[in-house]
Amino acid sequence: MKPRLPARRRPSALRFPARPGRAAASLLACAVLGPTASACSGGGAEAGAGATGTPGAAGVGDPYFPKLGNGGYDVTHYDLRLAVDRSADRLTGTATITSRATQDLSAFDLDLLGLDVAGATVEGRPAAVRRTGGELVLRPDAEVADHLRGGRTFTTVVRYSGAPRTLTDADGSREGWVRTADGAVALGEPAGGPAWFPGNHHPSDKATYTVAVTVPEELTAVSNGELTSRRTGGAPGSRTTTYTWRTAQPMASYLATVAIGRFRTEESRTGDGLPVFTAVDSEVAAEAEPRLARIPEIVAWEAGKFGPYPFRSTGAIVDRAEDSDYALETQNRPYYPGPPTPGLLVHEMAHQWFGDSVTPADWRDMWLNEGFATYTEWLWSEEKEGVPAERSFDEAYADDANWAFPPARPPDATDLSQPPVYGRGAMVVHRLRRAVDDDEAFFALLAGWTGAHRYGNASTADFTAYAEKATGLDLSRLWSVWLYGDGRPEDPAAPDLPAR
Ligand code: TRP
Ligand code: ZN
């Protein structure tokens, strides 16, 4: 079904090459770092003399995005210092990335698309830089490489600038750096992160973040987490404000955002004392603000079902409808193109548990995000609007669009945003609720699941194993028919549990 969400994505008929064109010429750091940078001489991927490690892999083997993410290290913290011009067209950044080596490394990659790299250091020493497609290959000098043993923590600094790109993702929608009427917004799902900062851009590598953004005084820069400082300075006429945001819980890079514009901001607290920070495009503020007033009610209602809210603040970023054509569950503070309906708020807030706190191990597990967020809408309709979830299930069952492929096996990247992931994903959750046949046990299972993988990653196999263990039921038919099966089962009344 096309759920109660507004048209979120464009139809899949338009297919795009898996990766947008690459323009950036490869750049050797020697050119900018000068002849004293010893690592420049080699200029290739061959191991330097004395280095004992090997290069980290250029991807982590995602079934749809083989080059997304990088092997050989895990990022623990990103410190991003960004300056953005008045038109939000140009960005100058310094990314300080703290990582832990997972192997002995002679070189490693970061994912970055477009933008010019002025230089990079690893452990404070200049590193050779090479660009190939979306990969930024860093080769530290031999002495530093000798230190990069598995288990060691190391710091990488990349200085970069340029006009960040708007990418067209596999289903034709815009991600990466998206210009808006009064600024820009960074949207990262599934592969937009490399458009605005170098990193390990696969959902399996979660990290904490500090994002400091300097903008002309009349603009506001909003990001994830909590605002830790806001400082205005500079000469009259060219005054700028630096907004510093801190995300203390691990975050997947596709959930990282920065939104720049003429926002009206509001700070409040929920009844439980959770800070709420909202930023609304001033053009739509009058319509959006009363809708956002329901955030505390929705967070409390979802926490009652899924377990404690995972983060230290909540809120929303609201742009205009013409700015983008989909909402995104950016961590702490979802992004909405225009004033959100209650159903859309419920959906994006549900992702704070399903997607943001418990993050898919790879992009094939997308239904763990969208199936659960869609099912949360069904639950909301059931409790608040008197529409039984069983009726939402029946409607989804009747909709041909949900039967194109099994939710746990989208054929390719184009399909990640398609109805089977959402509607049929929600049907799986509903079948599970029916099989459990006891709402108290069913909701305990959901809260147990979010608790077991809080702040981590989990796969479909983790979920099916968890559900079987928690219920003690043989759920194999439920999985084989509803989660993995091709086509619509003949008889939805047939039981999912074996006869006993
Ligand atoms: N996750 C977003 C939502 O549910 C929608 C979305 C944005 C999406 N980008 C995507 C879905 C890429 C699949 C693939 O509101
Ligand atoms: Zn969603």
pLDDT bracket for residue 99 (50, 70, 90): very high
Is the CB of residue 323 below 6 angstroms from any atom belonging to ligand 1?
no
Could you identify the atom of ligand 1 that is nearest to the CA of residue 190? 12
CA 96 to ligand 2 centroid distance, Å: 30
pLDDT bracket for residue 412 (50, 70, 90): very high
Distance CA 470, CA 454 (A): 17
- Of 50-54, 96-100, 171-175, 313-317, the one with minimum mean pLDDT is 50-54
Distance CA 351, CA 448 (A): 16
Give the pLDDT of residue 170: 87
How does strand 220-223 pair with strand 226-233?
A: unpaired
Residue with CA at minimum distance from ligand 1 atom 9: 189
Instruction: Say yes or no to pLDDT of 37 above 60.
Output: no
Distance CA 162, CA 185 (A): 16
**Residue 402 three-state SS:** helix
Is the CB of residue 319 below 6 angstroms from any atom belonging to ligand 1?
no
Instruction: Give the single-character DSSP code of 416.
Output: G
**Between residues 24 and 149, the one the model is more confident about:** 149
Give the pLDDT of residue 171: 87
Distance CA 213, CA 15 (A): 35
Which one of 326, 353, 421 would you pick to mutate in the ligand 1 pocket, going by the greatest count of ligand atoms within 8 A of its CB? 326
Is the CB of residue 416 below 6 angstroms from any atom belonging to ligand 1?
yes
CATH 2.60.40.1730 domain span(s) along the chain: 23-350
**Between residues 43 and 234, the one the model is more confident about:** 234
Residues 315-338 have a mean pLDDT of 97
**CATH class for the region spanning 23-350:** mainly beta
Instruction: Say yes or no to pLDDT of 63 above 50.
Output: yes
Q: Is the bond preceding 190 in cis, omega lying within 30 degrees of 0?
A: yes
Q: What residues pair up with 167 in beta bridges, in sequence order?
A: 175
Is the CB of residue 326 below 6 angstroms from any atom belonging to ligand 1?
yes
**Residue 176 three-state SS:** strand
Instruction: Say yes or no to pLDDT of 26 above 60.
Output: no
Distance CA 160, CA 271 (A): 43
Residue with CA at minimum distance from ligand 1 atom 3: 328
Residues 268-279 have a mean pLDDT of 98
Instruction: Say yes or no to pLDDT of 48 above 80.
Output: no
Instruction: Give the tokens for residue 53.
Output: 């490690």
**Residue 195 three-state SS:** helix
Is the CB of residue 8 below 6 angstroms from any atom belonging to ligand 1?
yes
Instruction: Say yes or no to pLDDT of 44 above 80.
Output: no
Give the pLDDT of residue 25: 29
Give the pLDDT of residue 51: 55
**CB proximity list for 433: less than 8 A, separation 6 or greater:** 389, 439, 442
Could you identify the atom of ligand 1 that is nearest to the CA of residue 421? 13
User: What is the Cα Rg of the chain in Å?
Assistant: 23
Share above pLDDT 90 across residues of the chain, in percent, rounded to a whole number: 88
Is the CB of residue 426 below 6 angstroms from any atom belonging to ligand 1?
no
CATH 1.10.390.10 domain span(s) along the chain: 366-483
Find the length of the chain: 500
**Residue 488 three-state SS:** coil
Distance CA 342, CA 236 (A): 43
Closest CA to 308 of 343, 270, 277: 270
Share above pLDDT 70 across residues of the chain, in percent, rounded to a whole number: 90
**Cα end-to-end span (Å), the chain:** 34
Q: Tally Cβ neighbours within 10 Å of residue 481.
A: 18
Q: Tally Cβ neighbours within 10 Å of residue 498.
A: 10
Is the CB of residue 281 below 6 angstroms from any atom belonging to ligand 1?
no
Closest CA to 164 of 179, 154, 180, 144: 179
Residues 316-336 have a mean pLDDT of 97
Cα 401 to chain centroid, rounded: 26
Distance CA 393, CA 290 (A): 30
Instruction: Say yes or no to pLDDT of 121 above 90.
Output: yes
Q: Are 320 and 283 within 8 A, CB to CB?
A: yes
Distance CA 102, CA 489 (A): 45
Which one of 9, 64, 368 would you pick to mutate in the ligand 1 pocket, going by the greatest count of ligand atoms within 8 A of its CB? 9
Q: Tally Cβ neighbours within 10 Å of residue 42.
A: 16
Instruction: Say yes or no to pLDDT of 228 above 80.
Output: yes
Closest CA to 373 of 411, 417, 339: 417
pLDDT bracket for residue 21 (50, 70, 90): very low
Instruction: Say yes or no to pLDDT of 5 above 80.
Output: no
pLDDT in tens, 352-410: 999 999 999 999 999 999 999 999 999 999 999 999 999 999 999 999 999 999 999 99
Residues 198-212 have a mean pLDDT of 98
Closest CA to 402 of 71, 1, 88, 25: 1
CATH no., domain 366-483: 1.10.390.10
Closest CA to 461 of 487, 483, 440: 483
Give the pLDDT of residue 41: 33
Distance CA 184, CA 20 (A): 20
Instruction: Give the tokens for residue 443.
Output: 């909701």
